[in-house]
Structure 1
Amino acid sequence: MKAYFTIAVQPLFVLMWSSAFIAGIIGVGAAPPMLVLLGRYVIGGALLAGYAWAVRATWPRGQTLRHVVIAGLLMQIVQFGAFYTAMSHQVSGAVIALIQGLNPVLIAVFAGFLGETVTARQWAGFGIGGVGVAAAVVDQSNFSVAGLLLCLLGLFGLSMGTVYQKRFAPQVDSRASTAVHALASAPIAAVLVLATQQWQIRDLPHFAAALTWIVLVNSVAAFLLLNAMLRRWDATRVGRLFFATPAVTALLAWLLVDQPLRPLTIAGLGVGVLGLVLASARPQSAGRPAPQPVAAR
């Protein structure tokens, strides 16, 4: 059973994580981005809260709860609000996956918050990863400056939210914190829907299918699988799986939503992943454990 788990779970997780970008593209093609967010957080938040309650997770309280809410708004509203809106600007799923994959690198830039240092190898990885992103973006036929800026904003939200939670609420039960992230984000998403006055669903079947996948597979199942892997393996081994996400996303986008996969895009993805690999080894400062990845699906 243990050998089967090791062999099967890793490609399954990469496929599930990569599919989030495809489901997002389908979702924002059928309804406004903020409406997709609202559905995600209302339904996903309820399911995650029910799971946290069922397993008797310890819920954050007081000042810790406030910190978890702030981190959640950064990782959920800022990240996915920006990424979903970028999708509506025709930014490809592969490019978004590659930019999101730069999260550990950006965290390294903010390493002072975590008591770490940034090595020359990490800076080299950051530069190489940036070149890969640029090549993949330039090759897109529907290149959008606004879409690229939105992707960078989403990356900033994910990275800052991760750093903030590790700095101010590092010991919070991840099962409860993920539920708090979604539940705190739901009313903000509702306000954004009302503010933009975009609540018309253009394609109900595709919207329902995408939202079902986003909630059940990406927000719940992938989160449970990630935590199961972290209980069995160290964070470095699990973190390596994310290197495959941009390439798998590009392939899925080509197969399922007809996004082009041209030579320069492939080269950019390859260079970008090389940058991620170089930047993945973060030094561990004395007396502090290496930071663990935070689920943000």
Structure 2
Amino acid sequence: MLLSMKTLALPIVFIFLYGSGFVFTAFGLENSSPMAFLALRFFIAFFILLIIASVLRVQWPNTLLEFVHISTAGLLTVGVFSIGVFLSISFGISASLSALIIALQPIIVTFLAVKLLGEKFNMKILIGLLLGILGVAFVVSSKVGGSSSQILGIVFSIIALLGLSFGNIYQKKYCSNMNLYSGGAIQTLSSTILVVPILLFFEDINITFNGDFLIALVYMSVGVSIGALSLLYVMIEKGEVSKVSSVFYMMPVCAALISYFLFDIDIDITMFIGIFAVLVGILLINKK
């Protein structure tokens, strides 16, 4: 019973932390340019993880190849994904719509896992995936606009989706035994290095250090970059990556709910229909 509660608690906490990250990204971008916000977030997370790894004297990669694998997984899962989401939202895509696009991740991951990791695929999983798509479509149906100004934002969300999907597969294949603290420090550092050239050469840097921005920065640095990603890696290590990815269907649901409580955005009947379809889809994918 205790084991079942622990197994259930991991995805629930992950969903809350990761899903709310879309909302706090939008919150922080009201006072900062995207890459400046992201560079600060990555550096703070790196510094904290480095201190924890040093104090606990955890194991670091033994070989250069192991270091490269961890860095590559981090560049995809952390770097490319975060850059895509931040730029997407900065171009006017709502947190819910960005989360919806990322929620398509289970489809990509499931087929990649079948091809590259030899995981099983059956009709039950297919139906669950389709129900999940239907559910997230209902959740954000009222928030999707046809404005041409959203096209670039949608493209960046798709880039984020691909980075996260390939990064999860790479993490499962090459970095399942990675230490969360030393590996996390390496991944956030490599992601910082990826962001810096974009920040220096392609962005008009501006930051307003007020209370709202600091709240968003601390939450994204500690809650998401350390907390949520650590939970994701634990779930990937312990389970099939295709089934772990199914929890991403809850991202737009979580983002929409938190947007409601923080910004008073109404929840209509489509929200409840979507939540029901999402939960049924996840149940089908994960049911043994």
TM-score, normalisation: structure 2:
0.80
Instruction: Tell which deviates more after alignment, 191-200 or 95-104.
Output: 95-104
In 2 relative to 1, CA 256–227 (structure 1 residues): closer, same or farther, beyond 3 Å? same
Q: CA deviation at 1:25?
A: 1.2
The equivalent of 2:65 in structure 1 is 63
For the residue of structure 1 that corresponds to 2:60, the secondary structure is coil
What amino acid maps onto 1:197 in structure 2?
A: E
Please say if residues 23 and 210 of structure 1, whose CA atoms lie closer than 8 Å, have aligned partners that are also in contact.
yes
Does 2:200 align with 1:198?
no
Instruction: Tell which deviates more after alignment, 265-274 or 234-243.
Output: 234-243
2:76 corresponds to which of 74, 77, 84 = 74
1:126 corresponds to which of 121, 129, 143 = 129
The equivalent of 1:288 in structure 2 is none
Give structure 2 stretches of 5+ with no counterpart: none
Deviations 1:130-187 (Å, cap 9, x if unpaired)?
2333344442164534333332321211110111122233322233222211011112
In 2 relative to 1, CA 272–145 (structure 1 residues): closer, same or farther, beyond 3 Å? farther
1:167 corresponds to which of 173, 185, 191 = 173
Q: CA deviation at 1:113?
A: 1.2
In 2 relative to 1, CA 178–122 (structure 1 residues): closer, same or farther, beyond 3 Å? same
Please say if residues 108 and 117 of structure 1, whose CA atoms lie closer than 8 Å, have aligned partners that are also in contact.
no
CA root-mean-square deviation: 3.6
What amino acid maps onto 1:39 in structure 2?
A: L
Deviations 1:188-226 (Å, cap 9, x if unpaired)?
111111122221125643222210121122223445667
The equivalent of 1:184 in structure 2 is 190
Deviations 1:80-127 (Å, cap 9, x if unpaired)?
111122222333333433443443442211022112232122222222
What amino acid maps onto 1:18 in structure 2?
A: G
Q: Distance in 1 between matches of 2:57 and 2:182?
A: 9
The equivalent of 1:26 in structure 2 is 27
Between structures 1 and 2, the one with greater helix share: 2
Q: Distance in 1 between matches of 2:130 and 2:10?
A: 32
Q: CA deviation at 1:40?
A: 0.9
What amino acid maps onto 1:198 in structure 2?
A: D
The equivalent of 1:256 in structure 2 is 262
Q: Distance in 2 between matches of 1:100 and 1:272?
A: 14
What amino acid maps onto 2:35 in structure 1?
A: M
Q: Distance in 2 between matches of 1:198 and 1:272?
A: 39
Q: Distance in 2 between matches of 1:126 and 1:100?
A: 14
Please say if residues 105 and 248 of structure 2, whose CA atoms lie closer than 8 Å, have aligned partners that are also in contact.
no
Q: Distance in 1 between matches of 2:282 and 2:237?
A: 24
For the residue of structure 2 that corresponds to 1:50, the secondary structure is helix
In 2 relative to 1, CA 104–260 (structure 1 residues): closer, same or farther, beyond 3 Å? same
What amino acid maps onto 1:54 in structure 2?
A: V
What amino acid maps onto 1:256 in structure 2?
A: L
For the residue of structure 2 that corresponds to 1:58, the secondary structure is coil
Give structure 1 stretches of 5+ with no counterpart: 283-297
The equivalent of 1:295 in structure 2 is none
What amino acid maps onto 2:23 in structure 1?
A: I
